[in-house]
Each structure stands twice: as C-alpha cells, then as structure tokens.
Amino acid sequence: MTRLLFLGAGDIGKAMISRLTETGMAGKIEISVCDPYFNNTDIQTTSEITAIYPTLEAAQLNGAYDVIVIAIAPELFGKLAHLMKLVTTRQSLVISVMPGINVETLRHNHAYSVVRAMPNIGAKSGHSATGCYAGPYVTEAGRAIATRLLQTIGSVYWVKEESHLHAVTAISGCGPAYFFAFTEALAKAGISLGLPDDLALDLAIDTLHSASASLHADRSPARLRDEVTTPRGVTAAALKLFGEENNLETLVRRATKAANDRSTDLE
Ligand SMILES: NC(=O)C1=CN([C@@H]2O[C@H](COP(=O)(O)OP(=O)(O)OC[C@H]3O[C@@H](n4cnc5c(N)ncnc54)[C@H](OP(=O)(O)O)[C@@H]3O)[C@@H](O)[C@H]2O)C=CC1
Ligand SMILES: O=C(O)[C@@H]1CCC=N1
C-alpha cells in the first residue's frame, strides 16, 4: 500500500484528501497528515486518514513515506526543508503545490525526486486545471503516480520547462479568483442597473456557469462570443467597451504579469 503524507492540509490539502476518498483512491493509499492546526472536524473524510501529526518529527515516528504532498505556504518551507530527510528516502516522491519554490530548493540536497504541481481551487469539486513539472530524477513511474493522484482533483497538464510554472500559476492557479472578481463586478453592475441584490448575484453566478458549460462543449471562446453577439444588437454595445483601446486584454495581461512576477519573486 502506498504511504502518503500531506505536509499541510488547508484548502488544497483537504481538497486533495477529500477527492482521494470520493474517487475511491484512498482505499489503496495510507494517508497521514502533518499539520499542527488540523482539526478532525475540518474534513468529513477523517476516517480515511491513518494518522495526524503536529510536526515532521512526530510524523517520522511512523517511518518514511512513498509520497509527500507539500501544501503549506511557500514562506514556511524554508523553516521545514531541513526536516524533510526525516520522512523521506531516496525512493520518495515529493509533490509540491507551492508557487515559486523551485525543484532545487525543494530537494534541499536530499535524494528524493520532486514533481511541482500548480492546482487551483476547483480541486474541491474535482475541477482543478493543474499544471505540473517533473524534476530531473522523476521516473516514469513517479510521473504516473503524480498524474493519478492529481487527476482525482481535475485535469492534469505537464510542462517541459520549470519556468513555465510561473505562467501556469498566473493563469490557472490564480485564475478562479479572476472569474470570482468578475462575477462580483457583474453582480454589482446588475444592482446599479436596478436589480435586487440577490437576483443580481444569482444571475451573475448562473451566467458564469452557463458560459463555462458552453466552453466545455465548444472550446472556442471567440466563436461562442460571436454566437451571443447579434450584429448591431445589445451585446455588441457592451463588448465595444471591453474592446476599446484593448481595455480588457491590456488589464488581463497586466494583472497576470503581476502574478507571474510575484511568483518569480518567491524563488
Ligand atoms: N488556495 C489556492 O487556490 C491554491 C493554493 N496553492 C498553494 O498551495 C499551498 C497551500 O495553500 P492553501 O491550502 O490555500 O493554504 P492554507 O493556508 O489553507 O493551508 C496551509 C496549511 O498548512 C498548515 N501549516 C502551517 N504550518 C505548518 C507546519 N509547520 N507544518 C505543517 N502544516 C502547517 C496551515 O495551518 P494554518 O492555516 O493554521 O497556518 C494550513 O492548514 C500554498 O503554497 C498555496 O500557495 C496552489 C494553488 C492554488
Ligand atoms: O495566491 C496564491 O499565492 C496561491 C497560488 C495560486 C493560488 N493561490
């Protein structure tokens, strides 16, 4: 049985544990959690968790692990890196979902192999778009294990260049927040046009959902946009403003560049 340790079980760690359970994979894995603040009531699937440890020293008492998922804040890793040797062997596979921290830093001169993954919050419902990079010593078997684990939370894409993970983070890692912000803005616009608050929010959320469903059926945003936009009609009046001086594209490009740069700064 594969022995899996989660170092950090906040939003992303818990989502992964829940999905491992929901997809039936947890039955083939012994799951341990190392998180000083993890609360048994935090997660409905605690029965799938073999052990909960407050520190890596405590997790060591259960021996080394085959796979360690690191899902803590990147700022914390520096304090814990030297302790990774306690819970790993040369054969261990470390999967980090932290932005910015590169493979070399993650290995910290230890012998384990490293996959970096950048999921998004869609992990909670199995709809993450996860970008991955395999470090130099990752075997085909290691890559397959990472793919299987990460497919429980959604789609998995591999990039060849580690540096591309900054852009992956800026696009899909942070991406849900952009759509949430747009949904908030759309709801507020509805209110300013006279709709009741609840109705404006319901319409904005359901519209995001319908746009997402259309995009899943027909993966061409430009064609779908054309389909909605009746010539000289109502949508065109709004899109004209999005397009003027490339407003929306410029804003999105600047915002994602800021995210990309912040990710680079974390290195
Ligand atoms: N949220 C998102 O959408 C995404 C997040 N990520 C990345 O995933 C990582 C985790 O993010 P997220 O789950 O949102 O963050 P959370 O803050 O929800 O979770 C981090 C967890 O680690 C715990 N922790 C703190 N100190 C330690 C320690 N010494 N040992 C073990 N665990 C510890 C935290 O406890 P406490 O909260 O009490 O401090 C918390 O439970 C981050 O690096 C983030 O950048 C990547 C993609 C998407
Ligand atoms: O905001 C963050 O730093 C993390 C990375 C991607 C999503 N959340």
Low-confidence ranges of the chain (pLDDT < 50): none
- Give pLDDT, residue 48: 79
Domain boundary among 133, 168, 203: 168
Same domain for 27 and 9: yes
Q: Does 119 sit in the ligand 2 pocket, CB within 6 Å? A: no
Q: Does 169 sit in the ligand 2 pocket, CB within 6 Å? A: yes
Q: ipTM of this model?
A: 0.97
Report which bound ligand comes closest to the CA of 75. 1
Q: Where residue 224 sits, what CATH number does that domain have? A: 1.10.3730.10
Q: Phi, psi (5° rounding) for residue 200?
A: -60, -40
- Give pLDDT, residue 43: 61
Domain boundary among 136, 168, 200: 168
* Mean pLDDT taken over the chain: 94
Q: Are 59 and 76 in contact (CB under 8 A)?
A: no
Same domain for 216 and 93: no
Ligand 1: distance of its center to the CA of 9 in Å? Answer: 6
Chain segment 52-67, per-residue pLDDT in tens = 999 999 999 999 999 9
Q: Does 174 sit in the ligand 2 pocket, CB within 6 Å? A: yes
Structural domain harbouring 181: 175-265
Chain segment 193-243, per-residue pLDDT in tens = 999 999 999 999 999 999 999 999 999 999 999 999 999 999 999 999 999
- Give pLDDT, residue 129: 98
Q: Are 67 and 88 in contact (CB under 8 A)?
A: no
- Ligand 2 nearest atom to the CA of residue 74, by list position: 3
Domain boundary among 140, 168, 196: 168
Q: Does 54 sit in the ligand 1 pocket, CB within 6 Å? A: no
The residue whose C-alpha atom lies closest to atom 37 belonging to ligand 1 is 10
CA distances from 249 to 182, 196, 235, 241, 256 (A): 14, 30, 18, 12, 11
